Amino acid sequence: MNFSIRGLYLVTPDCDDTELLCTTVALALQGGVSLVQYRHKTASDALRIEQAGALLAICRTANIPLLINDHVALAVELDADGVHIGQYDCAIAETRAFVGKQKIIGASCYNRFELAEQAQADGADYVAFGACYPSPTKPNAPRATTDLFTRARQSLSVPVVGIGGITLENAPPLIAAGADALAVITDIFQAGDVAARCRQYQSLFAQN
């Protein structure tokens, strides 16, 4: 699978309705998404397997990578396209040993540039800074400023993703500062027209 960490990166909300989740992700893929991350912090193991498997089938049909948030063993079990891990999850080198050389590994670096440098050195395929703006998903998350993206573009060779409270209105400064991709949850899943909203995000990257 050819993948590009560029543009709109769709992250799922904590949604127990598998049919609604799959329908919304399918609409988003129609609108244009570069990657999808399955993230459900409160799901049971059974629901997580059900939803991740269903989303993987949808993403494979669309030839778009599906990453699993945190749950490395689940990603291996399903043969998903990669994982996204935080600072206190499995170490990147250990994760790579589990998932293999061909899988995507993304790392949360919050608002700390030194974590991004270390993640790149350890073999991450991309790094993520956030929360860029106040986020309903993580209201107490540390704030990542635009200068982090500018510095990353100058110093890092891996793609840089912005996440946290991103909307169509506040996305342009992040792209201008150097974000290769923007991970969005609420602004997509609560949109009246999901596919249209995704197309609007992709046009922001096309203009930059």
Residues tagged active-site? 39, 108, 138
- Alpha helix ranges (H) inside the chain: 18-31, 45-62, 72-78, 92-99, 113-122, 146-155, 171-177, 186-189, 194-207
Q: Got the DSSP string for 140-193?
A: TPPPPPHHHHHHHHHH-SS-EEEESS--TTTHHHHHHHT-SEEEESHHHHT-SS
Q: Are 188 and 194 in contact (CB under 8 A)?
A: yes
Q: What is the largest CA-CA distance in the chain?
A: 43
Task: Kindly state the helix (H) or strand (E) to which residue 10 belongs, with its residue range.
Answer: strand 7-11
Q: How far apart are CA 3 and CA 184, in angstroms?
A: 18
The residues that bridge with 85 in the sheet, in sequence order, are: 107
Q: Which of 132, 120, 125 is nearest to 100 (CA)?
A: 125
